[in-house]
């Protein structure tokens, strides 16, 4: 009796505990009869109280649910029978049922070892409502994001720029239509692919250092060129901006590229304009020099013409020597002026700055007023820099003429070459990395500048000269050239105390060099003479033909002359003993010498061929750029240059 009372007490305690659970609970035995439950089940599912007793069969519960439409419309008995059959399988099960009132009940059943099962019932209505709301929110935001991406795509596709996003790899995650078109891709095909596969291995090798710097967290700007499908060259200016987190990690980089072709062409036009302006200023001084040279020639020729009877050899040599020297100097002046005026694009190269200063000084000789003294202090031939020498000469000429204009009453213009190691603070002031620099200082003793003028001199179109006498572009272009070469500029000036402008260029130390003037002269070289080889000279100007014939015969060659391309063609094809041909390139009214040389080369591959021209830029005389595969002599030429060239081309054909 006592045991029964204790057992009942334990059951009551267990029932009280089950009633405090916020879920419904039921247990059915192997015969599908109720053996345990809690109050939460009845409150949650609203079952009749008469079913709340041990031994109630599962069918009674199913019938109540079916009759009040919990399982939906249709055959009530069939619904009950199917559920009883599934229950008799005693398998684990979970499902959610939505009641007619909208309540969502999660039913989870677990079988018991000896048959029957325990089932829990959870009201998940609020959870499902929150989930549904969340899903709707996600759907709305996804739709909004898609719309935002569509708008972003619409905007970026219509911006006149190439836009892309690179993830680590580097792999493209985004590209606008223009970027994809530029590399022959579609917007869809470019996403997810590695950068070398899109831009090509050759171009990627050029861009890789910039991309690596950007992934290190640096904003990077650079330029590159690429061949278009039509064969033309396009110049692109790109900026890479790192996409960084707050803790400094780089997630990717944004790429913005602009077509800089037109800007490059405009810059080139400005450079040509500035160079031609300098050429115009130089020609006045050069004309003075040429008049002096002509005076030497005329005076000596008149003296020889007045001589009566035979002229003494010594006296003849005394007259001829200065004439030869005058012609050489005139030829040198012409060649330097032509090279300066052409100013063709030259890839940056390491050059000795002393040679650049010497060349500039020779260009300026005679172009500065007599009351201005030009001094060049350049002793160290090992100071070099990686620059375009023609642009450097143009920059120095512009600075020289600015200094001339600042000294209307005369003075001293000094160009000094030196080198200097810039520390961190000095380099920071110039906006360059610290290290060793070669420097060229251009100083004058002119009027100087106040602080306001000094701060504006590098601005485009700023000028202190009267209207129509200055473009205001000279110093801005000097500044741009020096910055593009990796250097910096410093201006020191005070009113009445002159101006000193210092150009700093990253130093490239060169091996010890001899004087550049001695290198160019080549007077001590032995002439390489011919052995009577027969050469064809094609020249339509009789006087020039006479002079070149005399040079060739003096060097030991036999000469056959042709005044036209037709004569030259006939002679070249009919004379098997012909060893070489020297032809003028430009022959008015005839095919040019280059076309003639190519025709003869096709038919007589054994003939050595060289060309000559008096034009500064013969390749464009007929309106077309032409590549020349033959060596070209620039008129006038000395015997040594002619002998060296003939020796080279004839030795190849032996």
- In this chain, the answer to whether the domains covering 15-123 and 159-259 adopt an identical fold is yes
264 or 282: whose pLDDT is higher?
A: 264
Residues 33, 116: Cα–Cα separation, whole Å: 8
Domain 268-517 belongs to what topology?
A: Heat Shock Protein 90 (3.30.565)
The pLDDT value recorded for residue 275 is 61
Residues 575, 604: Cα–Cα separation, whole Å: 10
SS3 429: helix
Residues 477, 177: Cα–Cα separation, whole Å: 35
Q: How many CA atoms lie within 13 A of 642 on its CB side?
A: 25
Residue 149 has pLDDT above 70, yes or no: no
Q: What is the average per-residue pLDDT within 327-336?
A: 64
Query: Alpha-carbon Rg of the chain, whole angstroms?
Result: 47
Residues 83, 75: Cα–Cα separation, whole Å: 13
SS3 388: coil
Name beta bridge partners: 483. Answer: none
Architecture of domain 525-653: 3-Layer(aba) Sandwich (3.40)
Question: Could you report the per-residue pLDDT of 521-572, keeping only the tens digit for each?
Answer: 444 346 788 888 999 999 888 878 888 888 899 899 999 998 888 888 889 8
> Which DSSP category does 33 fall into?
B
SS3 227: strand
**Is the previous residue joined to 347 through a cis bond, with omega within 30 degrees of 0?**
no
Which of 645, 479, 446, 451 is closest to 557 using CA atoms? 645
Which of 613, 602, 614, 609 is closest to 648 using CA atoms? 609
The pLDDT value recorded for residue 332 is 60
Architecture of domain 15-123: 2-Layer Sandwich (3.30)
SS3 442: strand
Tokens describing residue 209: 């250092």
Which of 49, 67, 59, 70 is closest to 28 using CA atoms? 59
The pLDDT value recorded for residue 503 is 92
Cα dist from 132 to 96, 104, 125, 128, 590, whole Å: 15, 13, 10, 6, 89
Q: Are residues 7 and 62 in contact, defined by beta-carbon separation less than 8 angstroms? A: no
Cβ neighbours for 361, distance < 8 A, ≥ 6 positions apart: 374, 376, 415
605 or 466: whose pLDDT is higher?
A: 605
Residue 475 has pLDDT above 90, yes or no: no
Maximal C-alpha separation, the chain: 172
pLDDT tier for residue 623 given thresholds of 50, 70 and 90 = very low
| Residues 216, 217, 223, 226, CA torsion sign | positive
Cα dist from 403 to 253, 458, 614, whole Å: 47, 15, 34
The pLDDT value recorded for residue 505 is 92
pLDDT tier for residue 150 given thresholds of 50, 70 and 90 = low
**Which of 279-283, 478-482, 539-543 is the least confident region?**
279-283
The pLDDT value recorded for residue 520 is 40
The pLDDT value recorded for residue 654 is 62
Residue 155 has pLDDT above 60, yes or no: no
Q: What is the average per-residue pLDDT within 591-611?
A: 89
Residue 525 region by backbone torsions, left for phi larger than 0, else alpha for psi between -120 and 50, else beta? beta
Cβ neighbours for 494, distance < 8 A, ≥ 6 positions apart: 448, 449
**CATH classification number, 159-259, choose in 3.40.50.880, 3.30.70.141, 3.30.450.20, 3.40.50.300:** 3.30.450.20
The pLDDT value recorded for residue 468 is 35
Residues 436, 417: Cα–Cα separation, whole Å: 14
Q: What is the average per-residue pLDDT within 21-46?
A: 87
**Which of 211-215, 425-429, 452-456, 560-564 is the least confident region?**
452-456
Which of 92, 76, 91, 81 is closest to 58 using CA atoms? 81
Residue 519 has pLDDT above 50, yes or no: no
Domain chopping of the chain, boundaries: 15-123, 159-259, 268-517, 525-653
The pLDDT value recorded for residue 470 is 41
**Is the previous residue joined to 636 through a cis bond, with omega within 30 degrees of 0?**
yes
Residue 349 has pLDDT above 90, yes or no: no
Q: What is the average per-residue pLDDT within 143-165?
A: 68
Residue 414 has pLDDT above 90, yes or no: yes
What strands, in cross-sheet order, belong to the sheet with 411-422?
372-377, 411-422, 435-444, 499-506, 488-493
Residue 552 dihedral angles phi and psi, to the nearest 5°: -65, -45
Q: What is the average per-residue pLDDT within 272-290?
A: 60
Beta-sheet strands, E only, within 188-311:
220-227, 233-244, 250-259
Which of 502, 587, 574, 566 is closest to 534 using CA atoms? 574
Tokens describing residue 375: 């001094």
The pLDDT value recorded for residue 300 is 66
| Residues 509, 513, 518, 520, CA torsion sign | negative
Q: How many helices (H) and strands (E) does the chain have?
A: 21, 23
587 or 171: whose pLDDT is higher?
A: 171
66 or 515: whose pLDDT is higher?
A: 66
Which of 520, 523, 526, 551 is closest to 537 using CA atoms? 551
């Amino acid at each position: 009796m006592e045991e029964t009372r204790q057992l009942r007490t334990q059951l009551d305690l267990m029932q009280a505990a089950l009633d405090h659970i916020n879920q419904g609970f039921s247990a059915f035995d192997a015969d599908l009869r109720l053996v345990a439950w809690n109050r939460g089940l009845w409150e949650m599912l609203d079952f009749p109280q008469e079913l709340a007793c041990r031994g109630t069969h599962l069918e009674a519960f199913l019938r109540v649910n079916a009759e009040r439409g919990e399982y939906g419309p249709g055959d009530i008995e069939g619904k009950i029978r199917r559920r009883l059959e599934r229950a008799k399988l005693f398998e684990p099960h979970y499902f959610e049922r939505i009641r007619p009132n909208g309540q969502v009940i999660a039913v989870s059943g677990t079988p018991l070892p000896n048959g029957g099962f325990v089932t829990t019932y959870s009201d998940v209505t609020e959870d499902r409502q929150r989930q549904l709301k969340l899903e709707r929110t996600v759907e709305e935001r996804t739709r909004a994001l898609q719309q935002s991406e569509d708008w972003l795509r619409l905007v970026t596709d219509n911006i006149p720029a190439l836009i892309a996003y690179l993830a680590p790899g580097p792999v493209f995650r985004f590209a606008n239509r223009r970027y994809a078109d530029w590399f022959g891709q579609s917007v869809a095909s470019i996403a997810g692919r590695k950068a070398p596969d899109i831009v090509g291995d050759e171009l990627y090798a050029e861009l890789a250092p910039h991309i690596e710097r950007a992934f290190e967290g640096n904003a990077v700007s650079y330029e590159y060129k690429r061949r278009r499908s039509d064969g033309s060259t396009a110049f692109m200016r790109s900026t890479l901006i790192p996409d960084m987190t707050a803790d400094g990690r780089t997630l990717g980089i944004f790429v913005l590229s602009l077509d800089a072709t037109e800007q490059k062409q405009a810059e080139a036009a400005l450079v040509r304009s500035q160079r031609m302006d300098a050429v115009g200023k130089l020609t006045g001084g050069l004309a003075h020099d040429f008049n002096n040279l002509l005076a030497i020639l005329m005076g000596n020729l008149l003296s020889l013409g007045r001589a009566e009877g035979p002229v003494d050899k010594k006296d003849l040599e005394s007259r001829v020597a200065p004439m030869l020297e005058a012609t050489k100097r005139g030829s040198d002046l012409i060649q330097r002026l032509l090279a300066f005026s052409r100013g063709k694009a030259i890839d940056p190269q390491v050059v000795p700055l002393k040679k650049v200063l010497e060349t500039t000084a020779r260009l300026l000789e005679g172009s500065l007023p007599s009351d201005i003294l030009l001094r060049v202090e350049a002793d160290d031939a090992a100071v070099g820099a990686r620059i375009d020498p023609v642009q450097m000469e143009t920059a120095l000429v512009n600075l020289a003429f600015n200094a001339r204009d600042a000294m209307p009453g005369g003075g001293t213009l000094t160009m000094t070459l030196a080198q200097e190691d810039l520390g961190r603070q000095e380099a920071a002031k110039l906006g360059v990395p610290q290290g060793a620099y070669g420097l060229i200082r251009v100083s004058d003793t002119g009027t100087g500048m106040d602080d306001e003028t000094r701060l504006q001199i590098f601005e485009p179109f700023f000028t202190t000269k009267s209207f129509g006498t200055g473009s205001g572009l000279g110093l801005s272009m000097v500044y741009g050239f020096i910055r593009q070469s990796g250097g910096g500029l410093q201006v020191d000036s005070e009113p009445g105390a002159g101006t000193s402008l210092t150009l700093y260029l990253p130093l490239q130390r060169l091996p010890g060099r001899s004087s550049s003037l001695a290198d160019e002269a080549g007077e001590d070289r032995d002439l390489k003479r011919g052995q009577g080889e027969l050469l064809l000279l094609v020249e339509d100007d009789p006087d020039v033909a006479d002079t070149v014939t005399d040079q060739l015969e003096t060097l030991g060659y036999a000469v056959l002359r042709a005044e036209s391309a037709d004569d030259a063609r006939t002679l070249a094809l009919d004379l098997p003993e012909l060893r070489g041909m020297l032809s003028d390139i430009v022959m008015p009214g005839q095919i040019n010498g280059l076309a003639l040389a190519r025709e003869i080369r096709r038919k007589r591959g054994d003939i050595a061929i060289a060309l000559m021209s008096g034009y500064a830029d013969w390749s464009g005389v007929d309106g077309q750029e032409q590549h020349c595969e033959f060596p070209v002599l620039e008129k006038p030429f000395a015997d040594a240059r002619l002998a060296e060239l003939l020796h080279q081309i004839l030795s190849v054909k032996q």
